[in-house]
Amino acid sequence: MASRDDIAIEITPEVLLKAYACGIFPMAESADDPALYWIEPQARGILPLDQVHIPKRLARTIRSGRFEIRIDSDYAGVIDGCSASRPGRRSTWINGRIRQLYGALFEQGHCHTVETWFERRLVGGLYGVALGGAFFGESMFSTETDASKVALVYLVARLLHGGFSLLDTQFVTDHLRQFGTIELEKVAFQKALDRAMRQRASFHALGHDASPDKVLDIVRAAAQRAAP
């Protein structure tokens, strides 16, 4: 792990992409800490794209069309949502440098958002980095029930349709475990990452107006093909 000063001086969007390709990512200790640290977990969370479980109640919510899903339309709003403090949660590790770096990657087309809107309000979403055939999930938020879960399902469908093979969640949480997230040891993760880096994938292959039924069909079809 590098020192605070080294990271603060040397990290750039280009360095950040190289770091992701090597299996490491930056974090800050808090939103008020200007420094960044490289993180390389010994066990890495991933969500196998062909083994995603969608709870029946969530599928009904998706199919109802209650939420509008937008792609890459409000990076600043998603970052604000991911870094906001809410009951039971303090402000996150997203500091000013994180905002700047991922904002630059967003402008370059490497950072993406999946946004959940309700009554013309941004109520949930996620952001992450697409590189080769891998998507590195960074953070998600929700101010309405199921908003972040819906965004995650839409992300999975988009990655499957676009030819991605790896969805990195960094860590495993109860929120992610219900969808099928597992842990890979460092060596196994690196092998999966190396394979993904050799692939070509497109985050925008799936139309931005994909219907709820199409999204659910894509995810379920992948799981059925992978079933023994």
The pLDDT score that the predictor gives to residue 8 is 44
Full DSSP string of 163-177: T--EEEEES--HHHH
Nearest CA among 131, 102, 133 for reference residue 196: 133
The pLDDT score that the predictor gives to residue 91 is 56
The pLDDT score that the predictor gives to residue 89 is 52
CA separation for the pair 5, 120 (Å, rounded): 42
Cβ of 93: how many Cβ atoms within 10 Å? 17
The pLDDT score that the predictor gives to residue 228 is 78
The pLDDT score that the predictor gives to residue 43 is 94
Tens digits of per-residue pLDDT, 57-86? 999 999 999 999 999 999 999 999 999 876
How big is the CA angle at 198 (ends 97 and 227), to the nearest 5 degrees?
100
The pLDDT score that the predictor gives to residue 10 is 72
CA separation for the pair 27, 201 (Å, rounded): 26
User: Where exactly are the structural domains of the chain?
Assistant: 4-226
Under-70 pLDDT residues of the chain? 1-9, 86-91
* DSSP symbol at 143: S
In the Cβ-directed half-sphere of 188, how many Cα atoms lie within 13 Å? 10
H helix intervals, the chain: 4-10, 13-22, 56-64, 75-83, 96-108, 147-162, 174-177, 186-197, 212-226
CA separation for the pair 165, 78 (Å, rounded): 24
SS3 162: helix
The pLDDT score that the predictor gives to residue 1 is 37
CATH-assigned architecture of domain 4-226: 3-Layer(aba) Sandwich (3.40)
